[in-house]
Amino acid sequence: MKKQRSTMAEASSSIANLFDLLSEELVFIILDYLNDNNPQDKKSFSLVCKSFYSIESKHRRTLKPLRSEHLPSILTRYPQISTLDLSLCPRITDFSLSVIAMACGNTLRFIDLSRSKFFSGNGLAVLVANCRSLTALDLSNATELRDSAAAAIGEAKNLEKLWLGRCKLITDIGIGCIAVGCPKLKTIGLKWCLGIGDLGVELVAVKCKELRNLDLSYLPITSKCLPAILKLQYLEELILEGCFGIDDDSLTLLKQGSKSLKNLDISSCQNVSDTGLSSLTSGTGCLRQLTLAYGSPVTLDLARSLQRLSKLQSIKLDGCLVTCSGLQAIGNYCASLRELSLSKCSGVTDEGLSSLVKKQKELRKLDITCCRKLTCVSIAHVAYSCTSLTSLRMESCTLVPREAFVLIGRKCNLLEELDLTDNEIDDEGLKSISKCSNLSILKLGICLNITNEGLSYIGNRCSKLVELDLYRSMEITDSGITAIARGCPSLEMINISYCSGITDAALISMSKCAKLSTLECRGCPLITSLGIAAIAVGCKHLTKLDIKKCYRINDFGVLPLAHFSQNLKEINMSCTSITDFGLLSLASISCLQSMVILHLKGLSPRGLAAALLACGGLTKVKLHLSFKTLLPQPLFEHLEARGCVFQWREKMFQDELEDSKSWKLQVAELNNES
């Protein structure tokens, strides 16, 4: 026995020595091929031998840690980090930023703090002072930052990209410091920075001559700052969504538009009509994408203002009132469209849409969501005219008959995305659509005419399917899901919520889809712990799970999740049979961030408290309001200090509600008898 062990040890040592012979450059090439989406791959690689462990540490450039308290040890191991994503770390203090500054001072180029809190301008000052190579910084949602923090950011002389969305306390003074100190800025996002006005924006435009992308959404600005913006020589994207201070009168004073502008968004600018749009787009011959969503009515005059935009490829008119003449004119003036969005537009008729699409032979993406007046007439024109479509979204086009979907399948074979939620499609329609062999996203929620037969056509022919939505498609059962699981090995997301005929057999078949990351099966009362256990064992990439109202799932379903589903980030286990024991077992999942725990009859205050404390990475928890008084207030304060946000719900569970009504009726009857 000793001799056998000695032989095995020698063999293992020999293999390790062979690995040691590989050059560092060759191992780097091998690591380049590993999937960044699965950190377990690189972890397994680093455990092969000491040299691999060392080389993997040197190779890694991007890091997305789960806990801020691990930063010192992690950054010591990985000394070459250039991109640090802290979006999973809600608690980042000034001390954390100083640790990062000391460890990554020579290499760090991008840091994402968009989901982090508890740091101040002092921490940013240390970070900027030590990380001279910093080129990109995301501070979105840092609502407590003030002008002093902006002044610290202004010391980052090499900064090229900066996002400050919802930094509402930063004023013109603060953004002025950034503009003066960061002249190399090419991208800046100021969405919802309500303290910044015309002066601050004008300073940015004057000092940052290399700007390519500028987001000014919902800023209290007027047209006073626009002349300086439109003089920017390299500006390609300008977002003015919700800038209510911009109107036609001021826009007409503009002498010319931007010659370099490619993407303009003036959605929700209610005071801008065709007159102002014409002034704003004057001289913008390079414009390729125009967003006018939730704005002025799309009339003939507005469409005429687009005729100078010969290179326009994308128009988004979501939520606008459109006229038939307006759509017809867009079809005439914009002959090279690749994308058209009319989602939730009122006034879209067969006549208007048909006249538009007849001349759009190169259209790739069409969104007609909730255009409820459309019938087979316009869909036929779409099918015959737009044969190059890769994306068609037509949720809730309820007047479109079944035959139209057969036509779509016959003529639009290049479709990759198809949203038919709440439509009259049947099995014949699915049979025809299955000819779209490149289909990767298919949404069939609330399609009450489809059955397992139609779904089997999709499973047999659409092998590239990645996302499938069957929400409340009541006729779908196990055999249909099995056909999908067999024929679509790349499936990553499936929604079978409220398909009440589905059992564990469907989940067992889906467990063969190794890439599955999102499973929504709420309201499937026949699913038990056995099915969830199969998913846990087979689908190691699972990140989101919704088992609400799966009453037969208990702790025996959660335990395999705790052991195998180490990538799980979100779980909704409301109205199940899970108890304290099952909930506490989830603490072993270090990635877990969000839990919805409503109406668990087997859950006690003590068990809930233990689970909340044990799950150290939680950022959001949804609980019933009754627990707010049953648990000690210091517990919530401690968890909130760790970065966890609590959402409270008072709504009673349906069974409890019915019991309450029954009890009230009995009381009323007794009162009447007395």
Q: State pLDDT tens for residues 88-130.
A: 899 999 999 999 999 999 999 999 999 998 999 999 999 999 9
| Beta-strand pair 161-163/289-291 | unpaired
Helices (H), 358-438: 376-385, 402-411, 427-433
Distance in angstroms between the alpha carbons of the first and the last residue of the chain: 89
Q: Could you tell me the pLDDT band of residue 658, with boundaries at 50, 70 and 90?
A: very low
Q: What is the pLDDT of residue 37?
A: 60
Rounded mean pLDDT of the chain?
A: 91
Residues 6+ apart with CB under 8 A from 461: 434, 435, 437, 487
Tell me what pLDDT residue 409 has. 96
Higher pLDDT, 446 or 667: 446
Instruction: Quote the CA–CA distance of 527 and 507 in Å, as a whole number.
Output: 8
Q: Which residues touch 578 (CB under 8 Å, ≥6 apart)?
A: 553, 554, 555, 557, 558, 600, 602, 603
Give how far Cα 254 sits from Cα of 203, 585, 640, Å.
18, 64, 50
Question: Per-residue confidence at 30, pLDDT binned at 50, 70, 90?
Answer: confident
**Residue 151 token pair:** 């002044």
pLDDT at residue 250 in the model:
76
pLDDT band at 294 (very low <50, low <70, confident <90, very high): very high
* Higher pLDDT, residue 18 or 56: 56
Whether residue 165 is predicted with pLDDT greater than 70 in this model: the reply is yes
Give residue 38's pLDDT band: very low, low, confident or very high (50, 70, 90). low
Lowest mean pLDDT among 31-45, 246-260, 471-485, 559-573: 31-45
- Provide the pLDDT for residue 257: 75
Instruction: With a cut of 50, say whether residue 665 has pLDDT above it.
Output: no
Report the pLDDT value the prediction gives residue 249, as an integer from 0 to 100. Answer: 83
Q: Tell me which H or E stretch contains 243.
A: none
> Is pLDDT of 419 > 60?
yes
**Alpha carbons 509 and 496: distance in angstroms, whole number:** 14
Q: Which residue, among 291, 282, 292, 225, has the nearest Cα to 258 in the 3D structure?
A: 282
H helices of 491-566, in order, are: 504-510, 529-538, 555-564
504-518 pLDDT, tens digit per residue, is 999 999 999 999 999
Q: What is residue 405's predicted lDDT score, i.e. its pLDDT?
A: 97
Question: pLDDT: is 407 or 642 the higher one?
Answer: 407
Cα(193)–Cα(642) distance, rounded to whole angstroms?
A: 26
pLDDT value at residue 39: 65
Tokens of 595: 């839990």
Q: Note the pTM of the prediction, 2 decimals.
A: 0.90
Encoded tokens for 417: 């995305």
The residues, ordered by sequence, that sit 6+ positions from 375 with a Cβ below 8 Å of its Cβ are: 350, 399, 400, 401
Residue 31 pLDDT grade (very low, low, confident, very high; cuts 50, 70, 90): confident
Classify each residue of 129-159 as buried b or exposed e, where b means 16 or more C-beta atoms within 10 Å of its C-beta.
ebbeebbbbbbbbbeebbbbbbbbbbbbeeb
The residue count of the chain comes to 674
pLDDT at 282: 77
Query: Rounded to whole angstroms, how far apart are CA atoms 176 and 520?
Result: 47
Lowest average pLDDT, out of 31-35, 58-62, 71-75, 304-308, goes to 31-35
The pLDDT of residue 45: 76
In this predicted structure, what is the pLDDT of residue 246? 92
pLDDT over 90 for what percent of the chain? Answer: 78
Output the CA torsion 368→370→375→376 (10° steps). Answer: 50
* pLDDT of the residue at 494: 98
The pLDDT of 158-164, averaged and rounded, is 98
Residues 306 and 280: beta-carbon distance below 8 Å: no
Q: What are phi and psi of 62, to 5 degrees?
A: -115, 140
Beta carbons of 58 and 80 less than 8 angstroms apart: yes
Other Cβ atoms within 10 Å of 596 Cβ, number:
17
Taken in order 630, 632, 637, 638, is the CA torsion positive or negative? negative
CB 353 within 8 A of CB 329: no
Output phi, psi for 54, to 5 deg.
-70, -45
Return the pLDDT at 295: 93
Going by pLDDT thresholds of 50, 70 and 90, the confidence category of residue 49 is confident
Task: State both tokens at 378.
Answer: 């316009």
Say yes or no to pLDDT of 67 above 80.
Answer: yes
- Those residues whose C-beta lies under 8 Å from the C-beta of residue 206, and which sit 6 or more positions away, are 179, 228
**What is the pLDDT averaged over residues 338-346?**
97
Identify which of 97, 40, 39 has the alpha carbon closest to the alpha carbon of residue 68.
97
Residue 644's pLDDT band (boundaries 50, 70, 90)?
very high
Write out the two tokens for 650: 């008072």
Q: Residue 671 has what pLDDT?
A: 45
Dist CA 224 CA 376 (whole Å):
48
648 φ, ψ (degrees, to nearest 5): -110, 135
